Structure 1
């Protein structure tokens, strides 16, 4: 396997006519990192991936792999490999021949390419299916073959465009475990595009949240979840209440005083599982009404309405909820500990 190398994007920009899809982003992905580019449709994550791969030409800026500027190189010369969302397997070729195909195009002898393809199929635990056609495989098996085909070129970086989106939920969880295990064993960087927050949080050493062609935050999954840099990140990652502050700070948008807020803060984010919900009259700063109750197994999600604020939510442990349950229409007191409040400037 090729030696792992840092990836660096320098003022990278992509325009399609008058539309700017990627807007001067700067990012460094250390060697051996599992990086997820996360964001809604149209945020620029796939265009970014395709510029790294060489399948899109950068309008401005540079892509560096290690010490080499690969911005102008064709895809086959970059030291990267890409696994497409559709897998793009040749339907008339066996698994073995699909994996060996790129070596055939490079003039590698038949004996050597078949030997290397067999070794790669063994690495992804598909040896028993070497002679089958893609149509004879499940979605998860097709994905493994596509992975083997990408990895046989000995890339320093593997690029994955929403590789799990076509799988059912159970298989998706299993395959993301296999992807992370494979990346750890290979020691190279994986750059994985997804719109699934759960997928990014489960897989990534580095989560890059994108919005409207720009990077809103790039950090570990734990940092992104506990300390979202912007209101967009807090809302997109989910599990947070994002509450606007009155002009001047120090008070919520409905006028309720909130001590220990920095004067520059314009919003606060509070994780739903850190919300405190109690009976009316409890010594908590807010009063509200229960909008909804959803039983989720280990937890119960409670929707809350508070005058002057956007709808809020609380996630309570199952045992705690049923020890003192609430119902839609009930009045409640609610709040949170000061240390569970994250200010967003």
Structure 2
């Protein structure tokens, strides 16, 4: 197996005429990392992946794989392999020949390429179905074949474009476990495009959250979840409430800010805030207490708008003056010990330690 290599994007930009799809993205992905590019449709994640693969040209900037600049190299000469969202298997070939196809194009003799294809099929636990045609396989089995076909070129980096999107929920969990196991076994970097927060959190060592063609945050999954950089990341990752307003007072290491409805809140002043400055904070939905007394600036009274039972937890949606949407996750046993109904007014509280100050979005 080829030695894993670091991959680096340096001010990489992609334009389609006047439209800016990827805007000066810089990113380092250490060798042997499982990296997920995460974001909504149209954020630039797939375009970024395709530029790394060489299937899209770079308008400006550079892409490095190890010490080599690969920006202008053909896909086959980069040391990367790409697994597409549509598996694109040849229906008239058996599974072995599908996997061996790139080696056939490279002029490798039939016995050698089929032997290597069988090694790859064994790696993805598909060697027992080697004689079948793609139409005789399930979606999950076809995905494994496509994975073996990508890996047969011995890449330094494997690129995956929403590889789990066509699978049912139960199969997704099984296949993502296999993907992570395989990445650890191979020791190379996987760069995986997804719009699923759950998928990114479960798989990655590095989560890259994109928005409007830019990177909002690139960090370990736990860092992204617990300390989102921007309001976009906090909202996109979910399980955070975002409160936005303007600073009215700064004193004793804290800043007080007011939201349009007149309510005021407190945030630790870690950024040297000044009166009049815009400010946004995030508070995790599972850190909020219902019906509990709050310290000044660390609570509000909300009107229950919706209640959803999620098994281990109950999601309560509330509205308050100047706060259109506010969510609280309550453990199931705690909720049903003191159940709420739509229309109830409920005091909410959190601690100053649970407040996270957000930065302006780079894509704003």
TM-score range, shorter chain: over 0.9
| 1:23-102 matched pairs, under 5 angstroms | 23-102=23-102
| 1:32-181 matched pairs, under 5 angstroms | 32-181=32-181
Q: CA deviation at 1:258?
A: 2.8
| 1:1-345 matched pairs, under 5 angstroms | 1-248=1-248, 250-253=256-259, 254-262=261-269, 264=273, 266-278=279-291, 282-283=293-294, 285-345=299-359
Unaligned residue ranges in structure 2 (runs of 5+): 249-254, 360-364
Rounded to whole Å, the distance in 1 between the matches of 2:18 and 2:264 is 46
Conserved in 2, the CA contact under 8 Å of 1:301 and 1:316?
Answer: yes
Q: TM-score, normalised by structure 1?
A: 0.97
Rounded to whole Å, the distance in 2 between the matches of 1:283 and 1:104 is 69
Question: Do the aligned partners of residues 316 and 244 (structure 1) sit closer, same or farther apart at CA in structure 2, a change above 3 Å counting?
Answer: same
Secondary structure of the 1:118 match is helix
Rounded to whole Å, the distance in 1 between the matches of 2:348 and 2:246 is 19
Rounded to whole Å, the distance in 1 between the matches of 2:75 and 2:322 is 54
Conserved in 1, the CA contact under 8 Å of 2:225 and 2:237?
Answer: yes
Conserved in 2, the CA contact under 8 Å of 1:278 and 1:334?
Answer: yes
Conserved in 2, the CA contact under 8 Å of 1:246 and 1:255?
Answer: no
Secondary structure of the 1:147 match is helix
Conserved in 1, the CA contact under 8 Å of 2:263 and 2:322?
Answer: no
Secondary structure of the 1:113 match is helix
**Greater alpha carbon shift after TM alignment, 246-255 vs 196-205:** 246-255
Rounded to whole Å, the distance in 1 between the matches of 2:267 and 2:131 is 66
Rounded to whole Å, the distance in 2 between the matches of 1:85 and 1:154 is 20
Rounded to whole Å, the distance in 2 between the matches of 1:31 and 1:283 is 47
Secondary structure of the 1:292 match is strand
Q: TM-score, normalised by structure 2?
A: 0.92
Rounded to whole Å, the distance in 1 between the matches of 2:86 and 2:225 is 30
Q: CA deviation at 1:283?
A: 4.4
Q: Kindly provide the CA deviation profile for residues 124-146 of structure 1, in whole angstroms up to 9, marking residues without a partner as x.
A: 00011101111110010000000
Unaligned residue ranges in structure 1 (runs of 5+): none
Rounded to whole Å, the distance in 1 between the matches of 2:233 and 2:153 is 36
Conserved in 2, the CA contact under 8 Å of 1:161 and 1:192?
Answer: yes
Q: Kindly provide the CA deviation profile for residues 280-326 of structure 1, in whole angstroms up to 9, marking residues without a partner as x.
A: xx446311211111110000000111111121000011111111111
Q: CA deviation at 1:113?
A: 0.3
Rounded to whole Å, the distance in 1 between the matches of 2:146 and 2:196 is 21
Secondary structure of the 1:259 match is strand
Greater strand share, structure number:
2
